[in-house]
A and B are shown apart, each in its own frame.
Chain A
Amino acid sequence: MSDFLNAYSIQRWLELCPQGYLEDTVFGHGAAEHEPDPLIEDETLREEAIRSTVQLVVGERAALAASSGLVNAAPDYPSKRFLATQTLDEARHVEIFTQRLYDLGVKKDDLESTIDHFANPNLVKFAEVLLEKVDNKDFVAGVVGQNIVLEGMAFTVFEMMEAGNRQANPKFAHTLSGTIADERRHVGFGENRIGSLIRQYPEKKPEIEQMQKDMAYHMLNTFSSSFRQGSAAMDAAREMAPAGDGDGTEWQGVNMAEAGPEELQGALEKTVINEFKTRLARIGLEYQAPVMS
């Protein structure tokens, strides 16, 4: 166990992140990069960008609360130290996505009211399920909820958004690239550390699987309402895109420039759930499909 945890030391984190892929970035992107003018000038597009970025801030705030809250519950020094790096990663994500809201024109005084207005209630419930486990200092359930379910979802959503923005908005795509690299590390820790703890405490399985089922339920509701709300902006973006823009950008077999909201939502759900199944199986758990109303 300790050998594997050495790969998650503060020293390794310093070399990988601040002194590695984040070097020479400002709020996660190149100093000269800006939000594209058409996005700032078109109210429908701008509002949708604010709405989707608010969901990222809500998710990252939950991740910050969860990772910091789990430090005290961690059973060993190496896990505490890894969670300390994750705490700082999540704080950085809160900071860079908050900065994007400012870049999109949200006034500093309006930040909290904007977040309250646009936060998806299903995503808030998703976070509440996780934070209840963290508040109870339940380390095993907390890490599964945080590092497998929340991070697994965030990782896939960020990958999809990065693919969709690679040509149209390199600034945002670069911001997302750094967070994807972070999330990959977090998911890896969850799989490695928790597998041994699940084997040690098999009696915890039913409770953890119920938590995963509840979180998956709120996640799928978040996806469906987000794609419903974002369809007008997707249409507007296509009308404004210059001919040839977005050609060839594919994600999970879907052409990001041509796919409709339903097709994208289907691809996202399928990818996230497959991720869950794979990662949960690695720690000895079986994915529990929620019953959707």
Chain B
Amino acid sequence: MSPSAGGGSDPDDFDPHDLEPGDFRDEVYSFEFWFQAVDGYLAERPYGHRVGISEPALDPVRREALITTLCNYCVGETAALEGASGMVEFAPNRHAKIFLATQVADEARHLEVFLRRLIDLGVEDPEAEIASRANPSLLRFKERLLEFVAGRDWDAAVFAQNVVLETMENTAFRAHETTADPITAEILDGVIKDERRHLGFGENDLGARLMRDPGVRTRLTEIRAELDPLVLGTFEAAMGDLGAEADRRTALGRDYLTAIERLGLA
């Protein structure tokens, strides 16, 4: 299973961005490429982390905060799992279907590793805990995403799922990784690597259409205006759970907005 399987070049020199657009899709949006990507950072890491790391002694307040945070990660990952799986059927081509299938497995893995972490922290019924600790802004975001998916609205669904949700998760996970206990940090590290791939798909898919069609830009700008408050509300609550200072909360929101603006949606 090698990304150069079809190309015959030296894998060390392989850069998919050197490929023509059609060949890029064949290469990058494939099971083969996915496997090559994840194998490097998932091998020897059952449930997302190395076996030898000892469980840190967390004080009760920090443990509670971590449980709430992980519960909300599970809400986000469930939204992503249901969103990506629902999009497979109306994806516009085979490459997008296969890429989304790899994303479905990624999101399910994220859900699994976060659920496992909750169990390791002593949570007996994670599903009940998630239901009681879920952030209302995040639940509303999930609801809206699944409405786009149910409506088979490809542009809106890719934007909400592979740009907004992935950027929100990427921003939150990166911030959390810097302060997390070693096990949680290692789990987040693997998840972040997956999210980058998903975000890349969203940017590539929408980027070309944004340049071609001003109508798409107008529409996505409107959707962004609707979703941004839900994302920022989620951040605010999440940072409160983690006891973060005000300037760190502001920085997180700013990081998210900067990442979204890379697509040129002011």
A interface residues, Cβ below 8 angstroms from B = 9-11, 13-15, 18-19, 22-27, 31, 64-65, 68-69, 71-72, 76-77, 80-81, 83-85, 87-88, 90-92, 94-95, 98, 108, 111
Q: How far is the CB of A126 from chain B (nearest CB, A)?
A: 17
Given contacts A91-B101, A94-B98, contact A65 B112 (CB under 8 A): no
Binding site for A on B (CB under 8 A): 1-2, 5, 22, 26, 30-32, 34-35, 38-39, 42-43, 46-47, 78, 81-82, 85-86, 88-89, 94, 97-98, 100-102, 104-105, 107-109, 111-112, 115, 127, 146
A68-B38 Cα distance, complex, nearest whole Å: 21
Find out whether the CB atom of B43 lies under 8 angstroms from the CB atom of A19.
Answer: yes
* A10 and B82 contact, CB distance less than 8 A: no
- B5 close to A84 (CB less than 8 A): no
Q: Is the CB of B46 within 8 A of A68?
A: no
- Is A94 a contact partner of B94 (Cβ separation < 8 A)? yes
Chain B interface, DSSP helix/strand/loop, else mixed: helix
9 closest A-B pairs by CB: A84-B108, A91-B101, A71-B85, A68-B88, A88-B105, A92-B31, A26-B5, A10-B109, A68-B85
> Which chain A residue lies CB-closest to B42?
A14
Let me know if A91 and B31 touch, CB within 8 A.
yes
> Given A14-B42, A71-B82, is A80 in contact with B108 using a C-beta cutoff of 8 Å?
yes
| A80 CA to B86 CA, complexed, in Å | 12
Q: Is the CB of A69 within 8 A of B102?
A: no
State how many angstroms separate the Cβ of A20 from the closest Cβ of chain B: 12
Contacting B105 at CB < 8 Å: which of A31, A76, A85, A108? A85
Collect the chain B residues with CB atoms within 8 Å of residue A76's CB: 127
User: Is A84 a contact of B104 with CB atoms below 8 Å?
Assistant: yes
The answer to whether B1 touches A69, judged by C-beta atoms less than 8 angstroms apart, is no
Report the separation of the CA atoms of residues A28 and B146 in the bound assembly, to the nearest whole angstrom: 34
Q: Give bound CA distance, A183 to B78, whole Å.
A: 25
Beyond the given pairs A77-B78, A81-B111, A85-B108, 11 more chain A to chain B contacts, judged by CB atoms under 8 angstroms and listed by A's residue number, are A11-B112, A19-B43, A26-B5, A64-B101, A68-B88, A69-B89, A81-B108, A83-B85, A87-B104, A95-B32, A108-B22
User: Are A68 and B1 also in contact (CB < 8 A) when A22-B35, A81-B111 are?
Assistant: no
Partner of A68, one of B5, B35, B42, B89: B89
Is B22 within 8 A of A10, CB to CB? no
Identify which of B38, B85, B109 gathers the most chain A CB atoms within 10 Å of its CB: B85
Which of these, A18, A64, A69, contacts B35 with CB under 8 Å? A18
Q: Are the C-beta atoms of A87 and B86 separated by less than 8 Å?
A: no
Chain A residue with Cβ nearest B107: A84
Q: A14-B42, A87-B105 are in contact. Are A94 and B85 (CB under 8 A)?
A: no
Q: Which single residue of chain A is at the shortest CB-CB distance from B101?
A: A91
Identify the closest chain A residue to B4 (Cβ).
A26
Q: Are A31 and B101 in contact (CB under 8 A)?
A: no
Q: How far is the CA of A69 from the CA of B88 in the complex (A)?
A: 8
Given contacts A26-B32, A65-B88, A84-B104, contact A9 B1 (CB under 8 A): no
In the bound complex, CA of A68 to CA of B112 (Å):
17
